[in-house]
Amino acid sequence: MTTATVPAAVKATKGTSRRQRRSWINTVLGVIFLCIMLFPVYWMLNASLQPGGGALSTSWFPTHPDFSGYRTAISEQGRHLMTSLLIAIGSVIFSLIIATPAAYALAQFKMRGTSLVLFGILISQMIPGIVVANALYSAYNDLGILNTYGGLILADSSAGIPFAILIMRAYMTTIPKPIIEAARVDGAGHFRAFISVVVPVSRNAIITGALFTFLFTWSDFLFALTLTTGDSVQPVTLGIFQYIGAHVQDWSSVMATAVLASLPAVILLVLAQKFIAAGATGGAVK
């Protein structure tokens, strides 16, 4: 080894060690931030397994887990959980029926005003929810659909449809037109080509739009609070809100209800994470 190559080797070694040290620091900071963000989730789960009492007086670890809070939550909040599930599934179905063909038309058909329509969809996402909820309350009161499943499904879909259109349209613009034209040459109409070609190819984007619509609906509180005035149709978010006031001294049941309400979202995110990654970034590069 010549004397000229020795400083270069030393610099390379120092550069490698510096990058390793920076990588370790970033890893440690990432773990710390992750623990901080997940601590409320852990405390919710921990408090739900305690015998009862205040959330501040619980131990740091449930050494003697008690599932009585879950029994209470299921017996008293099970109906609200089923209500949320029905409304969420209905919102997903209704949103996909509207958003999927709309996204296909905006992506594949050359029409005047497409940019204006997309701009309007973006603007609709910026309108505060309380404004939409107040307007819907007046309309629902005149139509007589307050405290109905259909009313909440329509209201929650107003948030899911624009987002689903944007996600699916970005993905559908990347579909090669020769694929659709080949189906047309074989005798398929626009609707048949859409069902047989576009929908299967756009599976990732459709699943992504469906999942986010489900999450919007499942976590909705504002529409549920504004558009329901009784106990007949109450999702779990409103049930937890009222539950806290009635059982403020029994936080184990409250936290158990929160854990049960979080499970569907967690399960769906775990099962559909690969579809979300592909669907959300599918239209980023054409």
**Domain parsing of the chain, residue ranges:** 5-48, 71-281
Which residues touch 218 (CB under 8 Å, ≥6 apart)?
A: 84, 88, 235, 261, 264, 265
Q: How many CB atoms lie within 10 A of CB 32?
A: 10
Look at the domain 71-281 and name its fold. Answer: MetI-like fold (1.10.3720)
CA–CA gap between residue 184 and residue 161 (Å, rounded): 28
Query: Could you tell me where the DSSP H helices lie in the chain?
Result: 5-48, 68-108, 114-126, 129-143, 149-172, 177-185, 190-193, 199-201, 203-218, 222-227, 236-246, 251-281
Half-sphere exposure of 29 (CA within 13 A, CB side): 6
| Predicted pLDDT at 98 | 92
Rounded to 5°, angle at Cα 17 from 14 and 21: 135
Q: What's the start-to-end Cα distance of the chain, in Å?
A: 49
For residue 204, which amino acid is it? N
In three-state secondary structure terms, 53 is strand
| Predicted pLDDT at 92 | 93
How far is Cα of residue 226 from the mean position of the Cα atoms in its chain? 21
Q: Which residues pair with 53 in a beta bridge?
A: 250
How far is Cα of residue 175 from the mean position of the Cα atoms in its chain? 25
Q: Which residues of the chain fall below pLDDT 50?
A: 1, 279, 283-286
In three-state secondary structure terms, 216 is helix
**Helix %, strand %, coil % of the chain (to 5):** 80, 0, 20
Nearest to 237 by CA among 258, 252, 253: 258
CB 149 within 8 A of CB 86: yes
| Predicted pLDDT at 58 | 66
pTM surpassing 0.85?
Answer: no
CA–CA gap between residue 110 and residue 286 (Å, rounded): 18
